[in-house]
Amino acid sequence: MTKKTIEDWQALAEKELKASPETLTWLTPEGIAVKPLYTADDLADVGHLESLPGFAPFTRGPRATMYAGRPWTIRQYAGFSTAEASNAFYKRNLAAGQKGLSVAFDLATHRGYDSDHPRVEGDVGKAGVAIDSVEDMKILFDAIPLDQMSVSMTMNGAVIPILANFIVAGEEQGVSRDKLSGTIQNDILKEFMVRNTYIYPPEPSMRIVADIIEYTAKEMPKFNSISISGYHMQEAGATLVQELAFTLADGREYVRAALAKGLDVDEFAGRLSFFFAIGMNFFMEAAKLRAARLLWTRIMQEFSPKKPSSLMLRTHCQTSGVSLAEQDPYNNIIRTAFEAMSAVLGGTQSLHTNSFDEAIALPTEFSARIARNTQLILQHETGVTKVVDPLAGSYYVESLTKELADAAWALIEEVESLGGMTKAVDEGLPKRLIEEAATRRQAAVDRGEEVIVGVNKYRLETEDEIDILDIDNTAVRLSQIKRLEETKRRRDAKAVETTLAELTRVAQTGEGNLLAAAVEAARARATVGEISDAMRAVFGDHSAEPKVVSKVYGDSYHDDPEYQMIVSRLSEFKTALGAKPKIMVAKLGQDGHDRGAKVISSAFGDLGFEVLAGPLFQTPEEAADLAISQKVHVVGMSSLAAGHKTLAPQLVEALKAKGADNIIVVVGGVIPRQDYQYLLDHGVAAVFGPGTNVLEAARAVMDLMQGRLRNG
């Protein structure tokens, strides 16, 4: 196509749209300029076009026939309440067409606490299934043949006791560990960046990763030792370039850790897997998976593997949780379907589709069936499985693949210049960039620059109430404690003591393998908490210092009249109050998902509040003490893990007991509308659900403070 032809098209397009060329070009959050028209000329310097599926650099897929030979695996990430309840849910899903299990654990388990620990009162069974010992794990997989079923487990902090329990549960089902198939996430660097369900400091945590890779390489040939996850990065606000770059840089770091254990790269590289989020930028998400395979091949070639499979990136994908909206929630079904199609066109190996109600609560059986059927319809009715890589050769997608790969590689090289991903995480680079991106996006949504149907445009006048799944946290905890006590009563206490002492010795000396030692402890019925504590005694606990970005949300508003009005009002209120209005943003319980808390802290700080970002994992009592000592006017509790009905009333009561009921308590996050009145009845002053505009929240908080000031 000639330059003259392009110029003629541009002139015609401008005439039709009455727009300038700049208006026609879209700048993505990643800074990639997307043109309205792509032609063969855009592929002139794209080097990956000649590759075929199944051959390096695997841009078109890791298998030659892809879905034409075998469709992707349908997985549904699920787990809640007790092992019995989750087991029944799994069996129903498998009977209805699900092909693999993907287990969600509760936050107490993630953080290495048993259900009877006082710090996890509001977390047990809430955002996943509670696992305290092998007895729970056996029930979880009761009558599910582990020699036939691939099991994926999202676990990082307490990865050693959970994988040990899984191995022993398999043994006692008659399935030796060499027959177990599936994946353990085991991706701790991502936890330090965004998700925060870590236990130990970075250095011993990386040792745990390496020990698991070593053990599985030798003992579990069908099992993937790590799922290197970008999913939680995108959920925390990362751009696609950041998700791609930091995930692959994490992978490079894990390979180096395994090599440092003396392993040959071909012993383990073929059992590494990846996990990406799929959001609403349809073509770019598909291009991201293509770019990921291209770049991973480039990275792995550094280590000179002999097997072609060592160069392959294989990935699981999950549709976005952040793209789900509380408002007009049936729109989420449509969003998830588009995201699922994007993942498939990008060439994922397995897929989880979110349920439409997950912006509000845990999925019901009704919503989970729709999510599962979305994939079944894709596989059986759309024809996408008939052709290998249907997007190949697309001017737009191939150009995007190259642009994403180039931009991500530049960021990977920046990480490398710092000394690798562990050093970059220590210095806070990924966390800062992701938090800035999250805050920038929130401002774009609040301003209406990024349209979300039913949230900031085309809103319903009234929202219909939908059925939700509500877990009785107290009943689950009591049930778990009862089984825990029974397990401890029946076990050989001497064997537990001996095996835990050996685990501590391995941790202390560095001699031996941590997972191998933990398997012996689990077999003796040591609990998840006891195994975690045996390593805590040597490694200690990791404690992150909360930091908040500034001048990102405010800079996005510039001279916006509404923003300036709130800034002015806060300034006047400061004069009347005699001090800056002070808000503490608190994360209670074991919920480490802090995107919302960080965005609110950043935005409120830019508006003129004095913001105290509370540490993660506080108890209500600790939060109350900190709020009083720091003389805050408001505590904003951020909740994403369904513990609000337990933890918020406890915070209100703790403040009241300490004579500080003048401190206002508000709650925001993933909170069903059905729970609003309960919280208000228990002393919470205001509730801000998902999708709340930050400026509206700031106005409401100011109204509450001024009302409290007027009333003495």
Catalytic residue among 190, 587, 598, 645, which?
587
pLDDT at residue 293, rounded to an integer: 98
- Residue 471 burial (CB count, 10 A): 20
Q: If 0-12 CB within 10 Å is exposed, 13-18 middle and 19+ buried, where does residue 36 land? A: middle
Angstrom distance (rounded) from CA 435 to CA 194: 9
Nearest to 237 by CA among 277, 267, 273: 277
Q: What percentage of the chain reaches a pLDDT higher than 90? A: 73
Catalytic residue among 187, 591, 594, 606, which?
591
Q: If 0-12 CB within 10 Å is exposed, 13-18 middle and 19+ buried, where does residue 660 land? A: middle
pLDDT at residue 641, rounded to an integer: 67
Neighbouring residues of 159: CB distance < 8 A, sequence distance ≥ 6: 184, 185, 186, 188, 208, 212
pLDDT at residue 19 above 70? no
Residue 579 pLDDT grade (very low, low, confident, very high; cuts 50, 70, 90): confident
pLDDT tens, position by position, 295-339: 999 999 999 999 999 999 999 999 999 999 999 999 999 999 999
Angstrom distance (rounded) from CA 413 to CA 163: 33
Angstrom distance (rounded) from CA 426 to CA 492: 42
Q: Read out DSSP for 499-565?
A: HHHHHHHHHHH--S-HHHHHHHHHHTT--HHHHHHHHHHHH----PPP----SSHHHHHTT-HHHHH
Residue 13 pLDDT grade (very low, low, confident, very high; cuts 50, 70, 90): confident
Q: Give a three-class secondary structure readout of 81-146.
A: ECHHHHHHHHHHHHHCCCCEEEECECHHHHCCCCCCCHHHCCCCCCCCECCCCHHHHHHHCCCCCC
**Structure tokens given for 357:** 């109600």
Instruction: Supply the angle between the helices 644-657 and 620-629 in degrees, to the nearest 10.
Output: 40
| 231 in active site | yes
Distances (CA, A) of 35 to 3, 6, 11, 28, 399: 15, 12, 15, 11, 11
pLDDT at residue 7 above 80? no
Catalytic residue among 190, 431, 593, 645, which?
593
| Contact (Cβ atoms closer than 8 angstroms) between residue 265 and residue 255 | yes
**DSSP 8-state symbol, 360:** T
pLDDT at residue 461, rounded to an integer: 85
Nearest to 296 by CA among 283, 317, 306, 311: 311
Higher per-residue pLDDT: 482 or 99: 482
Neighbouring residues of 568: CB distance < 8 A, sequence distance ≥ 6: none
Angstrom distance (rounded) from CA 298 to CA 56: 9
Q: What percentage of the chain reaches a pLDDT higher than 70? A: 98
**Structure tokens given for 297:** 């091949």
Q: If 0-12 CB within 10 Å is exposed, 13-18 middle and 19+ buried, where does residue 465 land? A: exposed
Cα of 369 vs its chain's centroid, Å: 22
Strand pairing report for 33-34 and 610-613: unpaired
pLDDT, averaged across the chain: 92
Taking CA 442 as the corner, what is the angle to CA 437 and CA 443, rounded to the nearest 5 degrees?
A: 100
Nearest to 683 by CA among 712, 709, 645, 628: 645
Angstrom distance (rounded) from CA 481 to CA 497: 20
pLDDT at residue 661 above 70? yes
pLDDT at residue 706 above 90? no
pLDDT at residue 626, rounded to an integer: 97
Residue 359 pLDDT grade (very low, low, confident, very high; cuts 50, 70, 90): confident
pLDDT at residue 390 above 90? yes
Higher per-residue pLDDT: 76 or 40: 40
Report the helix count and the strand count for the chain, using DSSP H and E: 29, 16
Burial 425-442, CB ≥16 within 10 A → b, else e: beeebbbebbbbbbbbbb
| 591 in active site | yes
pLDDT tens, position by position, 186-238: 999 999 999 899 999 999 999 999 999 999 999 999 999 999 999 999 999 99
| 77 in active site | yes
**DSSP 8-state symbol, 270:** G
| 676 in active site | no
Task: Tell me which long-range contacts 11-15 makes (C-beta under 8 A, separation of at least 24).
Answer: 13/37
Can you say whether the dihedral through the CA atoms of 154, 155, 160, 161 is positive or negative? negative
| Contact (Cβ atoms closer than 8 angstroms) between residue 132 and residue 483 | yes
What backbone torsions phi and psi does residue 53 show, to the nearest 5 degrees?
A: -55, 140
Nearest to 147 by CA among 169, 124, 162: 169
Stretch 398-425: mean pLDDT = 95
Residue 575 pLDDT grade (very low, low, confident, very high; cuts 50, 70, 90): confident
Catalytic residue among 67, 200, 231, 254, which?
231
What backbone torsions phi and psi does residue 319 show, to the nearest 5 degrees?
A: -65, 155
Taking CA 159 as the corner, what is the angle to CA 158 and CA 165, rounded to the nearest 5 degrees?
A: 95
Say which residue the tokens 């409401």 belong to.
700
Angstrom distance (rounded) from CA 205 to CA 325: 35
pLDDT at residue 702, rounded to an integer: 92
**DSSP 8-state symbol, 618:** B
Cα torsion at 342, 348, 352, 358 (round to 10°)?
A: -40
Radius of gyration over every alpha carbon of the chain, rounded to an integer in angstroms: 26
pLDDT at residue 651, rounded to an integer: 97
Angstrom distance (rounded) from CA 408 to CA 291: 9
Can you say whether the dihedral through the CA atoms of 414, 415, 420, 423 is positive or negative? positive
pLDDT at residue 592, rounded to an integer: 86
Cα of 80 vs its chain's centroid, Å: 17
**Structure tokens given for 513:** 């393998």
Catalytic residue among 110, 126, 232, 582, which?
232
Q: Which domains does the chain have, with CATH numbers?
A: 6-37 (no CATH), 554-706 (3.40.50.280)
pLDDT tens, position by position, 582-608: 999 999 999 888 888 999 999 999 999
Angstrom distance (rounded) from CA 163 to CA 519: 8
Strand pairing report for 223-224 and 226-229: unpaired
Residue 76 pLDDT grade (very low, low, confident, very high; cuts 50, 70, 90): confident
Can you say whether the dihedral through the CA atoms of 328, 331, 336, 339 is positive or negative? negative
Bridge partners (DSSP) listed for residue 274: 228, 315
